[in-house]
Amino acid sequence: MIEIIPAIDIIEGKCVRLTQGDYTRMREYGDPLDMAMQFEDHGISRLHLVDLDGAREKRLVNYRILEKIAARTGLVIDAGGGLRTIEDVRIAFESGAHMVTGGSVAVKDRVEFISWLEQYGPERIILGADFKQGKIAVSGWFEKTSLDLMDFIADYRKIGISMAICTDIDKDGMLEGPSMDTYREIKKEHEPLFLIASGGISGMEDIEKLTVSGIEGVIVGKAIYEQKISLQTLESFILKNS
């Protein structure tokens, strides 16, 4: 069964959503802890927590919020945003993260990222492979690289990565459906990879399509916050497929 993974993005202590990674196109949705507790109350077991202040400042900023959510819920949390050093990773794990996602660091400091993988193992380190028009983008999506998405994933698969979050930046926050063709291609090329699709989810039909395509996880953000998908509907889906 596909794993439903709601996203909580944090700026200045608030739960927010951006559109296509644009900090000027931001909407606030209240307290991150309240949202996390609501998710758990509706049968959700996993959370994608992104420190957008950290992504912008290139350092871990909102680890106290991670600490609160980890202390007050039983959610399995993967943390991302602002993680640049193994010290950042240590703080994230000590604050209650079960896994961390490395995106920019995997591009800009390969040796550092590999050291995370060697120290903590592939079950705790997720590759962040965010892309725009088939090319990897980094630094809070401000910077598009010349790295091909498929080549990037293949390279880290050889090193031992077993999980990846792939966000299509052009789709993110647009509520226009996910990049199905890209996800199917990734699964075809990298069958053992635990692939988490992100960006564009507009309704349950998108989640159903990803499920049929064998995608292991899906990050759902704006569709929840804009009430395109209710938590009650997600709870029913999880119960039906458990």
**Active site positions, annotated:** 9, 130
Report residue 121 as tokens: 């193992």
Which residues are registered as beta bridge partners of 101? 126
Q: Rounded to the nearest 5 degrees, what angle is found at the Cα of 170, between the Cα atoms of 167 and 174? A: 95
- Rounded to 10°, the helix 231-241/32-41 angle is 40
Residue 213 CA to residue 190 CA, distance in Å, equals 13
Beta strands, E only, 12-170: 14-19, 22-28, 46-51, 76-80, 99-102, 125-128, 131-132, 135-138, 143-148, 163-167
What does DSSP say about strands 135-138 and 143-148: parallel, antiparallel, or unpaired?
A: antiparallel
Residues in Cβ contact with 85 at an 8 Å cutoff, skipping those fewer than 6 apart? 112
Residue 41 CA to residue 25 CA, distance in Å, equals 29
Query: What one-character DSSP code corresponds to residue 41?
Result: H
